[in-house]
């Protein structure tokens, strides 16, 4: 946060504040279709992260998997995930808000 303020990147500051989730346990709504080229992006400061996928809306079990930075991972249900640095996550979010 302090680096974003220092650099004057107020869109990043807004995103950090509005999505404040200190333990990174917030449930993320996934797109209907994902692929290796368009995976769900997960931000982390670590090289690996444990994530859970509710494969179906009515599911009563969570499929847990450990993913690492670099390559996309596929859940048993077909959803794709990629772990990235927060800087990459924020730049992707910032670029997606730019008008086409």
51 is in an annotated binding site: no
Span 37-53, pLDDT tens digits = 999 888 888 899 998 88
Span 25-36, pLDDT tens digits = 566 676 778 899
67 is in an annotated binding site: no
The domain ranges of the chain are 24-96
53 is in an annotated binding site: yes
CA distance 22 to 15: 13
Q: What CATH number was assigned to the domain covering residues 24-96?
A: 2.60.11.10
CA distance 99 to 61: 39
- Whole-number pLDDT of residue 83: 93
35 is in an annotated binding site: no
pTM to 2 decimal places:
0.66
Residue 83 burial class via C-beta count within 10 angstroms: exposed 0-12, middle 13-18, buried 19 and up: buried
Percent with pLDDT over 90 in the chain: 28
């Amino acid at each position: 946060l302090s680096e974003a303020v220092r650099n004057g990147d107020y869109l990043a500051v807004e995103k950090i504040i509005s999505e404040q989730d200190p333990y990174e346990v917030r449930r993320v709504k996934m797109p209907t279709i994902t692929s290796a080229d368009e995976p769900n992006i997960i931000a982390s400061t670590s090289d690996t992260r444990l994530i859970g996928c509710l494969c179906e809306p009515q599911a009563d079990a969570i499929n847990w998997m450990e993913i690492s930075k670099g390559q996309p991972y596929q859940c048993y249900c077909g959803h794709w995930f990629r772990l990235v640095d927060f800087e990459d996550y924020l730049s992707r979010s910032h670029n997606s808000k730019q008008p086409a």
